[in-house]
Structure 1
Amino acid sequence: MSAEPEAPGDVMVIGGDERRMHVRAYNYWASLLRGRDFPSIEDLDSRDVQDFSDHSLLLDFTASPDNPTTSFIGSAIRAECEIGDEVRSIADVPPRSLLSRLTDHYMQIIANRAPIGFEAEFTNQRGHDICYRGILMPFSSDGEGIDFIYGVINWKDGVGMPAPAQPTVADEAEEILDLVDPLAESEDEGQEVEDAPVALEADAGLADRLSAARETVEVLKAADGRSRAALYRALSLAYDFAVAARRVPQDYAELLEDAGVKAQARAPMTPIVKLVFGVDYDKARLTEFAAALAYAERRDIPFEGFLAFIEQHPGGLKGLVAAERDARRPEPRTDNRADQARTRLRSALAQPLSTLAGNDEFTLVLVRRDAQGRVEPVSAVTDLTLLEKALRKLA
């Protein structure tokens, strides 16, 4: 992505559509997960983020984890902060600018390994009171580490605004903060509602168990997702439903068919949570719920044992999700390709630089120092990605 710096504009008025750009940004990020811990940076397409790209920032950690480069700064941010192309890394960000409000939070992403949302007020470099809201989302180039962060920020300049002002960024703080930390919202003990457990007979049928679980989900929805007791109760009933479904596979198959949900051999808990919470429920939440149930099954938790298991597990729901993801992660394979390459290059014939350079403007050349201390070119590195990283490192 690229953008030309613009001159500072008029005072910005945030409308309802703009105030929700963070929600759209988070939903876009979540749509790229596809079962992974982080979306691939290669999937971040500038065409998909046009409605909030002017308010966005892309940080690149590949050259320096301590001072990431600002690969992209949206034109609206540049205009508000009165900056041009001189800002190329975190170290160049003006300390009293709106951009610093966004970049100050990037270490939280590295620590939490998950998106974070934030909102506050501050006085900018022009002495204006600014109310802002931001979201930062991690991306990865290798599927494991976080080496890119995409951020979106929106704000309102309070200069000249009468009281009461139009709705500010803070008016919808719960909306984005809940979205970027959906597990935390479910475990907010200060938002509990009355949760009367649904009574079930010991020999209740599969359909009755599904109905009871769905009733508890309705309690959860009535609390706007903020009742931990209702959530844990719904997950407990979902787990019991899964255990019971294995005993009567034909009945379970009929329930799936009636709901238009497909069985998944590789992710058997996914159709369970779709039946219980609904196919239209937030997909990121469904993925987390399925992971929690899968981990309970992995640990051979018995029928009616899930509630005690999740309440006693460190971190509750978040802890179960993390444990299941760790359990799924394959053991790292020993990669000795670098040693094999060193062995070959020790005996390779030295090459003239003119031969290795080729016809491109820049070429990355590997040299070897022999036993006498002489430096000899031995190979050209043709991977353009490595060349780009080397160039960024030099910059």
Structure 2
Amino acid sequence: MDGYSQHGEFDSDALDLAPAAPVSPVGDDERRMHVRAYNHWVSLLGGRDFPSIEDLDPGNIEDFASHSVLLDFTSGGEDPETAYIGQAIREEGGLGPTVRTIADVPSRSLLSRLTDHYLQIIANRAPIGFEAEFDNQRGDTIFYRGILMPFSSDGDTIDFIYGVINWKTGGEQRAALAARPLAAPALELTDLHAAPGREEEELLELEQPLLDEDAGLADRLHAARETAETLKALDGRSRVALYRALAMAWDFTVAARRVPDEYASILEDAGVKAQARAPMTPIVKLVFGADYDKTRLTEFAAALSHAERCAVDFGGFQAFVEACPGGLKGLVAAERQARRPAARGDDRGEQARAALREAAPIALETALGDREFALVLLRRGEDGAVAAVAALADEAMLEKALRKVV
């Protein structure tokens, strides 16, 4: 717990502002392709609800490009285009260049297993993972795991979906999968056990660290870490252990403010950097370990940040989280909502209309310039005359418009 690997660090400034939804739906085994794909999706969030499609280059992600597909909904949601299909998926399904939309995907191909789930993404507005088996067009039994992840061109609309799928074939693999069950979906915060099981009871009955009000900062950190270790021993599934660990982390936070020099020394010894923009991230790294699940660390930091926002007293975190609707998940959602910038007023459109009512007309040749295509804004005057008043140079908007008219 005292050593922190450089490789365990993560960009908390980006991830700490991520939406509440992205909890990995496919488990914690970093060796699995779909988990690496999910982590790549998270790395592109940058505080947004969905990553920008401009940040995705599916053909150049060496780790899983050949096992991936990109669906493009900009021309409509009924039959999205297959903007990219990885080579391994093409070879498994015998797919040629004629597969251009979902409707072209053969029903007994592996690709159909991936595309069958895309409507769930639209409904859930979050990544989904899935796993099953089926007999393909050659009669081979295929065991597969996949994940679908939403992308957006405007930050709000899901108009692209990126999927990654991995598979195995044969009776030998059936036996292997039966002997070693696939990882279950990661639990949401509200899915933690409400009542302790036998193993949990035994661990929670162990003598808990007792601290008096004058305990030193190092003692508080040690006690918080011990409680976090109990949580890990229960595979992160104990609400009691989790709330206890976070409560001790909060008390450590309050105590650290009283002795900033001592706190700075602890951070330096642990190799953890202070972060002005995300001050709770170093706290949760110290308590739970920098190599703990990054999504959960982000959520824990958000919960502690909300306690700070609400001026929770020393020793008051447990009552605070238990009183919150939704418990810990409710705290995380409340903090993320509080961080979102206030919605911009909608008067910009009216200001633009007022300016364009007075704008001088421009010739279409001028609007087009030396381009082959252009988007032109027209105005109808009070006399009914129509005139071009502006040309838009947004290539992404032009490309979307072109897709709409064919």
With normalisation by structure 2, the TM-score equals 0.79
Please give the alpha-carbon distance, in whole angstroms, between the structure 2 residues aligned to 1:106 and 1:326.
27
Aligned partner of 1:45: which letter?
Answer: D
Output one character per residue of 1:161-209: Cα deviation in whole Å (capped at 9) or x when no partner: 345757459956317x33xx67477669798633346231332222111
What SS does the aligned partner of 2:183 have? helix
The number of aligned residues is 373
Structure 1 residue runs without a partner (length 5+): 1-16
Aligned CA-pair RMSD: 3.2
> 1:376 deviation in Å?
3.2
Tell whether the 8 Å contact from 1:131 to 1:169 is kept in structure 2 after alignment. Answer: no
Aligned to 2:225: 214
CA separation of 1:225 and 1:56: change in aligned 2, threshold 3 A = same
Aligned partner of 1:56: which letter?
Answer: S
Q: Does 1:59 align with 2:85?
A: no
Greater CA drift, 189-198 or 315-324? 189-198
CA separation of 1:373 and 1:164: change in aligned 2, threshold 3 A = closer
Aligned to 1:354: 365
Please give the alpha-carbon distance, in whole angstroms, between the structure 2 residues aligned to 1:63 and 1:334.
29
Tell whether the 8 Å contact from 2:71 to 2:160 is kept in structure 1 after alignment. Answer: yes
CA separation of 1:183 and 1:164: change in aligned 2, threshold 3 A = same
> 1:53 deviation in Å?
1.0
Aligned partner of 2:339: which letter?
Answer: R
Please give the alpha-carbon distance, in whole angstroms, between the structure 2 residues aligned to 1:267 and 1:25.
25
Aligned partner of 2:165: which letter?
Answer: I
Please give the alpha-carbon distance, in whole angstroms, between the structure 1 residues aligned to 2:209 and 2:165.
47
Per chain length, whose mean CA-contact separation is higher, i.e. which structure has more relative contact order (CA < 8 Å, sep 6+)? 2
CA separation of 1:257 and 1:263: change in aligned 2, threshold 3 A = same
Q: Does 1:201 align with 2:211?
A: yes
With normalisation by structure 1, the TM-score equals 0.81
Tell whether the 8 Å contact from 2:58 to 2:84 is kept in structure 1 after alignment. Answer: no
Structure 1 segments, 4+ long, off by >6 Å, are 188-192
Aligned partner of 2:182: which letter?
Answer: A
Identify the match of residue 119 of structure 1 among 126, 131, 135. 131
> 1:304 deviation in Å?
2.8
What SS does the aligned partner of 2:90 have? helix
Please give the alpha-carbon distance, in whole angstroms, between the structure 1 residues aligned to 2:371 and 2:32.
46
Q: Does 1:31 align with 2:31?
A: no
Output one character per residue of 1:220-258: Cα deviation in whole Å (capped at 9) or x when no partner: 333343334332322121112112222333332222222
Please give the alpha-carbon distance, in whole angstroms, between the structure 2 residues aligned to 1:65 and 1:39.
19
Output one character per residue of 1:66-102: Cα deviation in whole Å (capped at 9) or x when no partner: 5543322222223333433444444544444432322
Aligned to 1:173: 182
Please give the alpha-carbon distance, in whole angstroms, between the structure 2 residues aligned to 1:295 and 1:351.
53
Aligned to 1:4: none
Tell whether the 8 Å contact from 2:58 to 2:70 is kept in structure 1 after alignment. Answer: no
Please give the alpha-carbon distance, in whole angstroms, between the structure 2 residues aligned to 1:48 and 1:219.
42
Q: Does 1:266 align with 2:289?
A: no
Give the alignment of 1:92-241 within 5 angstroms.
92-157=104-169, 161-163=170-172, 165=174, 167-168=176-177, 171=180, 173-174=182-183, 177-178=185-186, 183=189, 193=200, 194-196=203-205, 198-203=208-213, 204-241=215-252
Tell whether the 8 Å contact from 1:156 to 1:169 is kept in structure 2 after alignment. Answer: no
Identity of aligned residues (%): 64
Please give the alpha-carbon distance, in whole angstroms, between the structure 2 residues aligned to 1:91 and 1:343.
45
Please give the alpha-carbon distance, in whole angstroms, between the structure 1 residues aligned to 2:172 and 2:275.
55
What SS does the aligned partner of 2:166 have? strand
Q: Does 1:367 align with 2:367?
A: no
Tell whether the 8 Å contact from 1:25 to 1:49 is kept in structure 2 after alignment. Answer: no
Greater CA drift, 188-197 or 350-359? 188-197
Identify the match of residue 90 of structure 2 among 64, 78, 98. 78
Greater CA drift, 189-198 or 365-374? 189-198
CA separation of 1:169 and 1:105: change in aligned 2, threshold 3 A = farther
Aligned to 1:42: 54
